[in-house]
């Protein structure tokens, strides 16, 4: 069993915020893989289902971002899971929009949701870092993460969510490379192979003329004389 926790803020007011991309990721997994309806538990919402042979608990803390660790720690204790069984999906300012990176352990880099989880459980858990880009100046960060994605972001955001859903079974069994590849295929699908155009008849070599030239046994002088007959 594994616990996938997505970070965000509860309520319709925040639903489309960049800060809520962790919630969006879990919704995509639940919808694509037929998880049970969301229900209130652990100071948040949970949905249960299977990814391949692995049972997965999806958790969206409703404690607001800064207190996410309360909800995650409660769920982890209830299911008697270790930190190795926890994967946290969160927004990442230091990655370009649409980029995704996996990380095991490490610091919280100022992310308040991760900071809270660190405080309750320590740093040794897996993270799925979901790039939202940076507004350019630290003074603009709070307003930026708490604003909705722009319409121009919708295409890559949809592709990213589909990729996460595609790769979720691989992530559940611990195959991070396959998970990342599934996302990559959605974000940058391979270009279809194009057939080489057929050569124009006029561009084809005249094999009859070449053969006749090879069979001509006249001397160069005789060929010259014959040209003026």
> What domains sit in the chain, N to C, each tagged with a CATH number?
2-187 (3.40.50.1470)
End-to-end CA distance of the chain, in Å?
A: 96
The arithmetic mean of pLDDT across residues 114-134, rounded, is: 97
Query: Confidence band (pLDDT; 50, 70, 90) for 59?
Result: very high
Output the pLDDT for position 190. Answer: 76
Q: Which residues contact 114 (CB under 8 A, 6 or more apart)?
A: 7, 88, 90, 108, 127
Output the pLDDT for position 198. Answer: 60
- Using alpha carbons, select from 31, 40, 110, 106 the residue that is nearest to residue 75: 40
Output the pLDDT for position 192. Answer: 73
The arithmetic mean of pLDDT across residues 195-207, rounded, is: 58
The arithmetic mean of pLDDT across residues 112-119, rounded, is: 97
Query: Confidence band (pLDDT; 50, 70, 90) for 157?
Result: very high
pTM score, two decimals?
0.83
Output the pLDDT for position 220. Answer: 63
Active-site positions read: 19
35 vs 227, residue with greater confidence:
35
Strand 100-104 versus strand 126-131 pairing type: antiparallel
The arithmetic mean of pLDDT across residues 8-31, rounded, is: 98
């Amino acid at each position: 069993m594994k616990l996938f926790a997505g970070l965000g803020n509860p309520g319709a007011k925040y639903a489309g915020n960049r800060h809520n991309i962790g919630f969006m990721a879990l919704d995509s997994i639940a919808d694509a893989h037929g998880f049970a309806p969301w229900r209130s538990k652990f100071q948040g919402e949970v949905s249960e289902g299977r990814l391949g042979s692995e049972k997965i608990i999806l958790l969206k803390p409703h404690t607001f971002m800064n207190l996410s660790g309360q909800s995650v720690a409660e769920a982890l204790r209830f299911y008697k899971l270790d930190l190795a069984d926890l994967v946290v999906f969160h927004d990442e300012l230091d990655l370009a929009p649409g980029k995704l990176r996996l990380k095991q352990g490490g610091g919280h880099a100022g992310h308040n949701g991760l900071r809270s989880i660190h405080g309750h459980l320590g740093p040794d858990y897996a993270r799925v870092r979901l790039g939202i880009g940076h507004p350019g100046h630290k003074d603009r960060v709070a307003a930026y993460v708490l604003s909705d994605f722009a319409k121009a972001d919708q295409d890559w955001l949809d592709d990213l969510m589909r990729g996460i859903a595609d790769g979720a079974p691989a992530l559940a069994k611990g195959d991070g490379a396959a998970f990342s590849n599934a996302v990559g295929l959605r974000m940058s699908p391979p270009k279809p192979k194009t057939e080489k155009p057929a050569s124009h008849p006029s561009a084809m070599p005249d094999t009859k003329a070449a053969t006749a030239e090879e069979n001509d046994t006249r001397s160069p002088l005789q060929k010259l004389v014959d040209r003026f007959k």
